[in-house]
Amino acid sequence: MRVGIGFDVHRFGPERRLILAGLEFDEEPGLLGHSDADVLTHAVIDALLGAAGLGDIGQHFPDSDERWRDASSIEMLMAVRRMLEARNYQPVNVDVSLVAERPRLAARVEAMRESLASALGIAPAFVSIKATTAEGLGALGRGEGIAAWAVALIDRLEVPELP
């Protein structure tokens, strides 16, 4: 088993959709970034890549590559899952902490867990998403953006022995 930690932060920006864990939050402004700026999913991607010793999100999905402009971070997460599987690893669980003054997430956490779990090929019971505020401190506390920390556990795939 291997463990990885991921972190990401994005600022709010005009004329963008807010995407978290692959879900759109219509009532809020979006985050700035080259892809869809899904800060939560980006943290999970970095945690998984770190656990597998495969670098970080910028190495695999660079903002200098136009293929990733406005790309779905859930699609990127599924690509990372395939990278893990190619190396005989599978995600076991992920735990995410989000720091945001807005939006309020309680009503959508279950759907967010299901979205990440589906992309990872694991049960929602193995995906944890928690949210807190920055209590008015710093840029996050002023509501200028959202940050996410993630921890991921991966394990070797069970490969059946040949007869």
In a domain, 47, yes or no: yes
The model carries a pTM of: 0.94
Q: Return d(Cα 51, Cα 131) in angstroms, integer.
A: 23
List phi, psi (to 5°) of 77.
-60, -40
In a domain, 139, yes or no: yes
Q: Which domain holds residue 107?
A: 2-156
Tokens at 47, concatenated: 């945690």
Q: Return d(Cα 3, Cα 20) in angstroms, integer.
A: 23
What CATH number should be reported for the domain holding residue 122? 3.30.1330.50
pLDDT of residue 63: 86
Per-residue pLDDT of the chain (163 residues; tens, 9 = 90+): 999 999 999 999 988 999 999 999 988 899 999 999 999 999 999 999 999 999 999 999 988 888 888 899 999 999 999 999 999 999 999 999 999 999 988 899 999 999 999 999 999 999 999 999 999 999 999 999 999 999 999 999 876 666 7
In a domain, 161, yes or no: no
Q: Alpha carbon 125 to chain centroid distance?
A: 16
> What does the DSSP 8-state code read for residue 22?
T
